[in-house]
Amino acid sequence: MSTALYRNTNYECTKLITRRYSTSFSMGILAFSPKFRKPIYGIYAYVRYADEIVDTFHDYDKVNLFREFREETFKAIRQKIHLNPVLDAFQDVVNMYGVDHELINAFLDSMEMDLEKTTYSARGYEEYIYGSAEVVGLMCLRVFCEGDSVKYSELKASARSLGAAFQKVNFLRDLKDDYQDRGRTYFPGVNFQLNFNQETKQQIETDIQRDLDSALSGIRRLPSGAKSGVYLAFLLYQSLFKKLKQATPSEIMESRVRVPNSRKFALIPVAYFRTRFGHV
C-alpha cells in the first residue's frame, strides 16, 4: 500500500506548524507556485521545531532532547521515513531535492550554540548566522532550482545574504527577549547596558541593508514560481526593518516592534504585480 496518504498528512502538519508560528512566512509560501509549497513548509517546520527545543523547553533536558533530535534527523534521512511527521516531511525534502547534509549539520550546530552560548565574537557571530539562517536559505534554494546545479551556484551568495538579513532583523527586533529573558547577546562587541546607542544601531542597520541589497539581486533571477513568494518575504522584512530604523535604541530595548497584519496583507498584491511585470 502506498505511503502517499501518510506523507501528505505529515506535510499538512508542517503547514499547520508554519501558520501557527509565522504569519509572514505563511503569507510568503502561499505566493509560491503550488509545487514549492509543501517542501518549504517541510523545511520551515523542521527549523522551527529545532529552535523551539533550545528556546522554550526550559523544564526539560534540552541537551538530551536536542541530541536525540539530531540523531533522529539523520536516521530519518537514511531510512527515508520517520514516525515524527516533521522529521518525515523534512527527510522527504532532503532526499527529493538533494539538500547537502553539511547544511543540515551547520544548522544544528548553530542551534546547539544557543544551549550554552550567551555572547558572540565576530567570528562566532558569522558562524551562527551562517548555520542558523544562511543555510536555511540554501535549503530553500535547492528546492527552487529543482536540480539545476548551475542556477543554484549562481544564486548561492544572494540566498545566503537574504537569510542573513532576515536573521539580523530578527535579532534587532528581539533584543528585549533575547537579552532580558534569555541572557543572549548576538551582536558582537555590543554591551546593551553600556553602548547600545544610535551610532551602534546605525552600524547594525548598515550591515543589514548591505545584505538586503545583495539579496535583491538574486531574487530578480529566481525561477518564476518562487520569485513572488521570496519577494513578498523580502518586502515583509523590509517593512519591519523600516520600523526598526525609526525606533530609538531605548524603544527597541523596551518593546517588540511589529508590523500590523493589515500592512502585511497590503504587500501581497505589491509583490505579485512587481514580480509579474518585472518591476523588482
Q: Which residues pair with 185 in a beta bridge?
A: 119
- Calculate the CA 99 to chain-centre distance: 16
- Structure letter (DSSP) for residue 277: T
What single-letter amino acid sits at 254?
E
What is the arithmetic mean of pLDDT over 199-223? 96
What is the secondary structure of 141-202 as a DSSP string?
Answer: HHHHHTT-HHHHHHHHHHHHHHHHHHHHHHHHHTHHIIIIIT--B-STT--TTTT-SHHHHH
What is the arithmetic mean of pLDDT over 154-183? 92
What confidence tens digit (pLDDT) does each residue in 222-278 have? 999 999 999 999 999 999 999 999 999 999 988 899 999 999 999 999 999 999 998
Q: Decide: helix, strand or coil at residue 241.
A: helix
Q: Are 146 and 97 in contact (CB under 8 A)?
A: yes
Residue 13 is predicted with a pLDDT of: 98
Q: Are 151 and 157 in contact (CB under 8 A)?
A: no
Q: Which residues pair with 119 in a beta bridge?
A: 185
What CATH number is given to the structural domain containing 71? Answer: 1.10.600.10
Enter the C-alpha cell of residue 213.
541589497
Closest CA to 92 of 41, 156, 26, 152: 41
pLDDT surpasses 80 at 9: yes
What are φ and ψ of residue 276, in 5° steps? -65, -35
pTM of the shown model:
0.94
What confidence tens digit (pLDDT) does each residue in 37-66 have? 999 999 999 999 999 999 999 999 999 999
Residues with Cβ < 8 Å from 72, sequence gap 6 or more? 82, 84, 87
94 versus 276: the higher-pLDDT residue is 94
CA angle 215, 219, 222 (to 5 degrees): 140
Domain that holds residue 29: 4-276
Closest CA to 161 of 232, 228, 220, 213: 213
pLDDT surpasses 80 at 192: no
- Calculate the CA 269 to chain-centre distance: 23
What are φ and ψ of residue 4, in 5° steps? -60, -45
What single-letter amino acid sits at 26?
S
pLDDT surpasses 60 at 199: yes
Q: How many domains does the chain have?
A: 1
What is the secondary structure of 1-61 as a DSSP string?
Answer: --SHHHHHHHHHHHHHHHHHH-HHHHHHHHTS-HHHHHHHHHHHHHHHHHHHHHHH-TTS-
Calculate what percentage of the chain has a pLDDT beyond 70. 99
Residue 1 is predicted with a pLDDT of: 56
No. of helices (H) and no. of strands (E), the chain: 14, 0
